[in-house]
Structure 1
Amino acid sequence: MAGTDQRTDYRVTFLVLCAGVASFSLLQSMVNPVLPTIEAALDTDQATVTWVLTAYLLSASVFTPIIGRIGDKVGKERMLVVALVALAVGSLLAALAPSIGVLIAARAIQGIGGGVLPLTFGIIRDEFPRDKVAGAVGTSAALLAVGGGIGLVLAGPIVDVLSYHWLFWIPMVMTVLAALAAYFFVPESPERTAGRINVSSALLMSSWLVTLLLAVSQGHSWGWGSPITVGLFVATAVLLPVWVRAEARSDSPLIDMRMMRIPTVWTVNLVSLLFGMGMYSMFAFLPQFLQTPDDVTGYGFGASVTQSGLMLLGQTVATFLAGIYSGRLAARFGSKAVLVVGATLTAFGTLGLVVAHDQLWMVLAETTVLGLGFGLSFAAMSNLIVDAVPQSQTGVASGMNANIRTVGGALGSAVLASVVTANARPDGLPVEAGYTHGFGVLVVTSTLAALVAVFVPVIKARTHVVPGPQTEAEAAEHAAAAEVTAVR
């Protein structure tokens, strides 16, 4: 384990962090295109195999802010190792899974690795020179979207040449190497938050997240008016305000409500919710659109899983390049401006898919614009959150931001699934208008994200570390006070 007397070069630390983020992001998306293959191999049905995605979503949504918060308190480096080990163990179990039940359990274990992202941002803020933070945060944040795109590109060839088991073996090897490198090269966190871990708050937060995401992700198959779906929504409506009240009254909150009320934090979180609705829905439904047999339906391109992934390669490359250059753009124009441009590009790219999707070159151009928007927006949102909160709360703040984006993705995917499949053909395939209307919904959410981004406060003066002892509430209150010079 790297000591604190001799700090590891920040560039080495950055490579280790990127390896961890890349491993997590690959596991987010590589499984999606091959669910039918897993369904056949494990002799299950479509309703059951979707839990391979749902278990991962639920687990990641619960553990991302919790692991980030524990990292703020006990040390980000050691929790990074814990998160990477969980990813590796879950990947090993998934690769060897003899049944669908074991695979679902393995995916739930992998979800613990969601803490990698907020821990990464916290370590960057702790270890990097101030002028390097924005670029490093932007690149690592964009890697999450890049990994999602690469997963779609690689899934088909891996399954064709090897088997679906290698969708887990490859990330497992990456994660093991990243965990070892983190243990030996990533230095211990110099910043710690005092106080205990609030277990009751963690349980309450986990409860409302699980009830909400279960209802949203399974409502389409269970029926939106079914007793179980309605019951889960009612439970969420009860548990969420109970959790907020408990956190507000706690002397050691898991999520400090004063921090969540900081103008920059709540507006960026709203952008994340809206942006997540569009981005994750695109990851889910664009491959399906490309794979639709055009000779049967009159739309789509009849692509295989491998071909549809390659068609989205331009989007992935654009996301990566936008993430790399986002730091320079933010230094020159500000992270808010980068976010507004990124969200606007996302809206234009989605609008293009609505009005012009008959030729492959059109779709390639539009998805490349989407990739630029994804990369710029991911980077800008992360930088705005990191800059807006006290250094001791970087992990939990960025964890909640990532979590809210995940919730948005679940909501967007559920809405899009309902719209796309509202009018199906006799053969079960959606009609073209289903995709057109679905992408139209995402134009609205992306446009709203761009509009909200315009009103994100710009911090003119900021004191990141306040000398002397502070309670968590005092730190968050100081962060809010630092925004009195904000301009809108």
Structure 2
Amino acid sequence: MARGVRRRAAVGAGLVGALVFVEFVSGVLQGYYTPLQTDIARHLGVGDADLNWLEAAQLLVSALAVPALSKLGDLWGHQRVLLWSSVVVAVANWGIAFSSDFVVYLIFWAIQGVFTVWLPLEVALIFLRSRGLADRSSATRRATGVIVAALQAGAIAGALGAGLAAAFLEPLWAQLAVPAALSVLVVAVIHWGVEAEHERRGGVLDGPGLLLVSAALLCVVGGLSLVRMVGIASWWPWVVLAAGLVLLVPFIRFELRAPDPLIDVRVMTKPAMWPVQATAMLFGVSILGAQIPLTTFARTDPAEHGFGLGLTASQLSPIVGGYVLSMLIGALLFARVTAVLTPRLCLIVAAVVVAIGYGGLVPFHDSVLQLLACMVVAGLGSGALVAALPATAASAAPENRTGVATGLTNSAKTIGGSVASCVFGVALAAGATGTAASLRGYYTVWLICAGTAVMAAVLLTFVPRLAFADPARFEEVAP
């Protein structure tokens, strides 16, 4: 009993305390640049629609890096991989701050996407550190809710801080140096604040599997990029896209035979696992792919283009802050609601709430209040899903594959976001006038986000009713 109390205290006060700061800065990185995107586009000499390719490149790097780094976390230690990934992110952030060329900025922006592995590694650390607790799954969900709340708080601080920086710091590089400096502090906190506790396990990194899945992802995203470059009527993009899908067949076959696969296909096909991973991919469409379209719509001048809100970076910051605040609330509520309802039902409700929020933008987008109301609704469901997906994946995975399972939720999410960014880039560019995207393109973005959320809710109904619940609670509920 005393040992369980000591372990709970160690998880809550020590590990989670340090990870709260890490996720806070992660949130700053996700919220800070958003209000400045239009200014960055003008600085780099590109249009609004071109910003989607920045997002697509970063999400692609995330999708490629997270499986490998998550696996290395299981093999070498999650703290060690967390530390070195933070070093890479710090270097990329300083590169972003001083980039003036679009290609250079694109490279550093893509490399910055490595920070998406932080949350999966943190959840794996928490799950492994809580070994021995009777309510291990619930304890993981509670701790995950706390660090995700810190992430959302950081995003709020980042969005508001960007508005202040835009008002008081004149050179753009000075504004972009703020998150770069914070990322250096993350390296120090992980080095001195997160204990390098790890039981080394046997196994190696699945190089051939990583190569196959990387080639498949490159073909898929490359095919979507070609659609925009050469047009939808050309057959080349579809050949490249089909090649990416075909490459998944040898990848799956190889993983089934591999003694230590990069992605354990058998585990991922379990009834409690595959709907969660599919939901993560569908969720990535809205949480990652729709960020830039929302901000560029809000900053589009209605007097010139007939739609948009014509907001400045400073005026947009509170709206982004309100959206992220609703995500924070959703993340904190998830762990509490699962104490009353089953985790599966909470996931379904969260997906439905996201669909309502984005679907509402189609008729209601003519004022700041309408846009904010729809974003707050979508944010409540999004926050719950951000906290829920890695925690539920950890609960459903074997002990030695928690890093891979939680990392795969982020990989699936970034794949969905990467594909969505390419599709949204094509949709927004169709009928664009000058640097502004088309209103029809924005309608397409919102409808796709709502539709994928509905699909996720349907897929989650295939999860066993008492999946992800603690054994003690299962005994109480089961007949």
Tell whether 2:445 aligns with 1:438: yes
Tell whether 2:290 aligns with 1:282: yes
Q: 1:164 to 1:454 in 2, by over 3 A?
A: farther
Instruction: Summarize deviations over 1:25-45 as a string: whole Å, max 9, x none.
Output: 443454455445345445678
**1:366 Cα shift?**
1.6
Determine the C-alpha separation between the residues in 1 that align with 2:160 and 2:96.
20
- What are the equivalent positions in structure 2 for 1:202-217 lying under 5 Å apart? 202-217=210-225
Determine the C-alpha separation between the residues in 2 that align with 1:368 and 1:197.
41
Determine the C-alpha separation between the residues in 2 that align with 1:306 and 1:462.
44
**1:316 Cα shift?**
1.0
**1:411 Cα shift?**
2.4
Q: In percent, how many aligned pairs have the same letter?
A: 27
- Select the residue among 395, 398, 414 that pairs with 1:406: 414
The 8 Å contact of residues 216 and 410 in structure 1, kept in 2 or not, is answered as no
Alignment partner, residue 352 of structure 1: 360
**1:189 Cα shift?**
3.4
Tell whether 2:456 aligns with 1:454: no
Structure 1 residues 133-142 or 72-81, which shifts more? 133-142
- Select the residue among 79, 93, 96 that pairs with 1:94: 96
Amino acid at match of 2:446: F
The 8 Å contact of residues 141 and 323 in structure 1, kept in 2 or not, is answered as yes
Amino acid at match of 1:377: L
TM-score normalised by the chain length of structure 1: 0.84
Alignment partner, residue 9 of structure 1: 10
Amino acid at match of 1:14: V
- What are the equivalent positions in structure 2 for 1:164-203 lying under 5 Å apart? 164-166=172-174, 168-203=176-211
The 8 Å contact of residues 59 and 417 in structure 2, kept in 1 or not, is answered as no
**1:16 Cα shift?**
1.9
Alignment partner, residue 63 of structure 1: 65
Structure 1 residues 407-416 or 391-400, which shifts more? 407-416
Q: 1:379 to 1:221 in 2, by over 3 A?
A: same
Determine the C-alpha separation between the residues in 2 that align with 1:112 and 1:235.
26
Instruction: Summarize deviations over 1:256-309 as a string: whole Å, max 9, x none.
Output: 111111211111111112222122233121112222222334432211132123
Structure 1 residues 277-286 or 411-420, which shifts more? 411-420
Alignment partner, residue 403 of structure 2: 395
Tell whether 2:45 aligns with 1:37: no
Q: 1:209 to 1:29 in 2, by over 3 A?
A: farther
Alignment partner, residue 23 of structure 2: 21
**1:218 Cα shift?**
5.9
Q: 1:419 to 1:35 in 2, by over 3 A?
A: same
Structure 1 residues 388-397 or 185-194, which shifts more? 185-194
Determine the C-alpha separation between the residues in 1 that align with 2:197 and 2:466.
26
**1:445 Cα shift?**
1.5
- What are the equivalent positions in structure 2 for 1:77-476 lying under 5 Å apart? 77-97=79-99, 99-128=101-130, 130=136, 131-141=138-148, 151-162=158-169, 163-166=171-174, 168-217=176-225, 219-226=227-234, 229-424=237-432, 429-430=436-437, 432-459=439-466
Q: 1:200 to 1:144 in 2, by over 3 A?
A: farther
Which structure is higher in RCO with an 8 Å CA cutoff and minimum separation 6?
A: 2
Alignment partner, residue 3 of structure 2: none
Amino acid at match of 1:404: A
**1:358 Cα shift?**
2.6
Amino acid at match of 2:414: T
**1:413 Cα shift?**
3.0
**1:216 Cα shift?**
3.1
- What are the equivalent positions in structure 2 for 1:471-486 lying under 5 Å apart? none
**1:93 Cα shift?**
2.7
Aligned residues: 461
Instruction: Summarize deviations over 1:119-171 as a string: whole Å, max 9, x none.
Output: 11101112245342111123334555665565555444434432432454323
Gap runs ≥5 in structure 2: 1-5
The 8 Å contact of residues 38 and 49 in structure 1, kept in 2 or not, is answered as no
Structure 1 residues 224-233 or 112-121, which shifts more? 224-233
Determine the C-alpha separation between the residues in 2 that align with 1:269 and 1:89.
31
The 8 Å contact of residues 81 and 182 in structure 1, kept in 2 or not, is answered as yes
Determine the C-alpha separation between the residues in 1 that align with 2:236 and 2:34.
25
TM-score normalised by the chain length of structure 2: 0.86
Determine the C-alpha separation between the residues in 2 that align with 1:427 and 1:75.
50
Determine the C-alpha separation between the residues in 2 that align with 1:461 and 1:361.
38
Q: 1:385 to 1:322 in 2, by over 3 A?
A: same
Q: 1:219 to 1:318 in 2, by over 3 A?
A: same
Determine the C-alpha separation between the residues in 1 that align with 2:444 and 2:348.
24
Q: 1:82 to 1:461 in 2, by over 3 A?
A: closer
Instruction: Summarize deviations over 1:419-443 as a string: whole Å, max 9, x none.
Output: 444444x556455444334322322
